[in-house]
Amino acid sequence: MRKKSEMLVDFVEDKTIIQTHLVELWQEILQVKVSIHDNLFELGGDSIEAAFLAVSSQ
């Protein structure tokens, strides 16, 4: 997982159950620590992973 100094934006902790679920999915797929304001594509994700996340989040 990336270090705090490597984050693209200030780290914002997840606050709701939905945010927590999405953060866990992103972290599982991307293998980096994510903040609720991070951008999937800037973290190395692609359209296939975005589609997988959309399906997994339902």
List the pLDDT tens digit at each of the 58 positions of the chain: 444 445 555 778 888 998 999 889 989 989 988 888 888 898 889 999 999 888 988 7
What is the C-alpha to C-alpha distance for residues 49 and 47, in angstroms, rounded to an integer? 5
Which pLDDT score, from 0 to 100, does residue 5 have? 44
Which pLDDT score, from 0 to 100, does residue 36 have? 86
What is the C-alpha to C-alpha distance for residues 48 and 20, in angstroms, rounded to an integer? 22
What is the C-alpha to C-alpha distance for residues 49 and 32, in angstroms, rounded to an integer? 14
Which pLDDT score, from 0 to 100, does residue 51 have? 93
**pTM recorded for the entire structure:** 0.68
Which pLDDT score, from 0 to 100, does residue 4 have? 43
Which pLDDT score, from 0 to 100, does residue 8 have? 52
What is the C-alpha to C-alpha distance for residues 54 and 17, in angstroms, rounded to an integer? 16
